[in-house]
Amino acid sequence: MKEQNLHSSISHIILGTWAMGGNHWGTCDDADALRAIETAIDNGINTIDTAPVYGDGHAEELVGKAIRGKREKIFLATKCGLDIYTNKYQRNLSPSYIERDLAESLKRLGTDYIDLYQCHWPDPQTPIEETMSALMHFHKQGKIRYIGVSNYTLAELEAVMRCTSLFSLQSHYSLLERTVESDVLPWCRKNDVRFLSYGSLGAGILTGKYVECKRFPSGDARSFFYRFFKPRYWPRVCQLVDAMKEMALSRGVKPGVIALVWLLQQPAVTSVIVGARSAQQVQDNIPLGGVNLTDSDMRLLDHLSQKVYAKEQ
């Protein structure tokens, strides 16, 4: 490891690579994906988030190709604990599985260390103490620099912190998914744990690209992972997006930028993960500098966001 040359902090925008894996999001062209990664790096995004389950290793392989020769400029985050080797994707955070998962990720990424290694989902079959002990072991070996978790509840986070210090929590958070605000976000702020949002653009809805409530094939993540792709919510989703479009137009940016700025103006949010499959998608979401939302903007977005899931009268 060459820690003296590594970034000690992560960029506010993190490039997400789930869609690049080629499963759960429709097809993705590898050449476009590589250009997206290169464009992100060239425009100051120093952090890339990936996982073995994204295309059963394919996304990690693409990231490995893109960062070859640039490794010391990148804060590289990946995950462990979803078994891609049995095709069942069962949660497995046992020490033996983590050892295998880490070794395979290092090969695919073409590196000998991971900056941020995250438990992808909690594993109820493995005691948290055993999982954290394994991660601390690999930290001491120099194979991982920081330990993070993803999708953990407040109780699970507290259990982790009884074992070791925690660098970050990655969880679902956007104008269309605000469950974490009740307990997890305040806890992260109180305990100085970085919060990284995924689903930051509402699976694309908050970019304004959908003119109607789209239906997706059953294997597509948008058909099962996100609750807001349902016709009963669509009129109120459209009200929210229309307001974002007006705010974006007055600032000369895309609506997705408004969604990201809203997140970054939340006190506990450190960085927002933004998925992309092309260089253009990366460029659409980069111009954050100088873009701010006023108190009245924030109140309006908060009101329209809360209305999306309000009980119908």
Q: Which sequence positions are flagged as catalytic?
A: 54
Asked if 118 and 77 count as a contact pair (C-beta separation under 8 A), the reply is: yes
Q: Can you tell me the distance from the alpha carbon of 191 to that of 110, in angstroms, rounded to the nearest whole number?
A: 34
Q: Can you tell me the distance from the alpha carbon of 38 to that of 67, in angstroms, rounded to the nearest whole number?
A: 8
Q: For residue 68, which amino acid is it?
A: R
Residue whose structure tokens are 């109140």: 299
Tokens of 44: 């100051």
Helices 234-251 and 255-264, interaxial angle, to 10°?
Answer: 90
Backbone Cα Rg of the chain: 19
Q: Can you tell me the distance from the alpha carbon of 178 to that of 207, in angstroms, rounded to the nearest whole number?
A: 18
Q: Can you tell me the distance from the alpha carbon of 218 to that of 205, in angstroms, rounded to the nearest whole number?
A: 18
Which residues are 149's β-sheet partners? 119, 169
Tokens of 272: 């927002």
